[in-house]
Amino acid sequence: MQASIGGRPVVSPVLTASGCSSFGQELDPFFDLASIGAVVTKSVQLRPRSGRATPRMAETPSGMINSIGLQGPGIEGLLADELPWLAARGAQAFVSIAGSRTEDFAELAERLRGAPGVLGLEVNISCPNVESRGEVFACNPDASAEVLAAVRAAADPAHPVYAKLTPDVTDIVSVARACADAGANGLSMINTLLGLVIDTDTMRPVLGGVTGGLSGPAVRPVALRCVWQVHQALPNVPILGMGGIRTGLDALQFVLAGAGAVSVGTAVFNDPSAPARIHAELAEALGERGFGRLADAIGYAHRAPEESSGRHGR
């Protein structure tokens, strides 16, 4: 399956999702990391971060909720250890960056210029697991545009820059449009939804951080709605779709809604080989429906009802 991220070709339209696969080491025993489109790293910040208070994760009826809080090694650790490790395996890294100020994002993009094995940048302007919801740039179109413009100006011109958006807004299309107008080469949708779980024995919130990000199959219809709405409004803007993808047919739904590639996140906790398996299942599903190319299926669900005739030869 030929695919691309912001115009750069990748061997597969299936990537990992930020946060769930760390920097790829945990998945390495289960499949060849070079066989997927890229490893989307945990969000990295300028300095190492210990994250939020424990407990940080809990199961929910259709997924999980977490409040990790952007724990990570910082940009120095990423450049010294994680990126060289991925490059040595022939894997590409789609580096997720996060910051508290616009200047933080721009400095991170600058530091990643020329780094080995970097496919592009995913700008995490929508993490729900920070101390202050005021840091969620993606809740405001102007703030989102300011960050994306700064990153695009500072980043290596060869690195596609994707904005990661939150569904926790009234109008995601307005935020998506602001990011694209500011220079984003693509959009990652969606980040987790802000949620809460209460332990009925202790009668207290389960997570040490009280609230957390809900992921897994429960959020898939929300993610698909976001991809659909943004593709309909901005059909030429590449979309990396994510949210509860467990199978090739789940991934196909995102492609039909308008995504040109997908990220697999929570599913790896149950099946660490999920990205490679979903690649194979998606290829089979496209072939069974008569699609000779992935590109022909992107946004196919948006066609008029009268064009529907069951199976479709392409």
Which residues are known to be catalytic?
127
Q: Would you tell me the crossing angle of helices 220-233 and 248-257 to the nearest 10 degrees?
A: 30
Give 22: exposed, middle or buried? Use CB within 10 Å, 0-12, 13-18, 19+.
middle
What is the helix (H) or strand (E) element at residue 194, kind and residue range?
strand 193-196
Give the SS3 label for residue 151: helix
Residue 74 CA neighbour count, 13 Å, CB half: 6
d(CA 104, CA 228): 31
Tokens of 13: 């339209």
How many CB atoms are located within 10 Å of the residue 102 CB? Answer: 17
Give the SS3 label for residue 119: strand
* Torsion sign across C-alpha atoms 198, 188, 156, 36: positive
Give 65: exposed, middle or buried? Use CB within 10 Å, 0-12, 13-18, 19+.
buried
Do you know the residue count of the chain? 314
Query: How would DSSP label each residue in 204-267?
Result: EESSTTSEEEEESGGGHHHHHHHHHHHHHH-TTS-EEEESS--SHHHHHHHHHHT-SEEEE-TH
Contact in structure between 112 and 121 (CB atoms under 8 Å): yes
218 CB contacts (<8 Å, ≥6 apart)? Answer: 60, 61, 62, 63, 244
Distance of CA 221 to the CA centre of its chain: 16
